[in-house]
Amino acid sequence: MEIINNVNKTLKDDYLLACFDTDVNETTIEEMAKMLPTHLVIRDASAANDNVLDNFDQIIESYSNEKKITTHIL
């Protein structure tokens, strides 16, 4: 399933979403979080800027009220 260009991998009903593209921005993170995966993975080198990494957890938390999303920044 690909809902946005930057989402590279999805596994078993959105259990895992991973994005390894370049220039990942807040919008990409928001779109991934809306899918409520159990695990969400990005590379820190993929972030468009430092603000993306600084706001990553806050963005995820705003969408994860219903479900715990475990984040991984590699």
Residue range 12-39, pLDDT digits in tens: 666 788 888 888 889 888 888 888 888 8
- Give me the number of domains the chain comprises: 1
Asked if residue 1 belongs to a domain, the reply is no
Residue 2 pLDDT grade (very low, low, confident, very high; cuts 50, 70, 90): very low
Stated pTM of the model: 0.74
Asked if residue 4 belongs to a domain, the reply is no
Three-state secondary structure readout of the chain: CCCCCCCCEEECCCCEEEECCCCECHHHHHHHHHCCCCEEEECHHHECCHHHHHHHHHHHHHHCCCCCCEEEEC
Residue 31 belongs to what domain range? 9-73
Asked if residue 65 belongs to a domain, the reply is yes
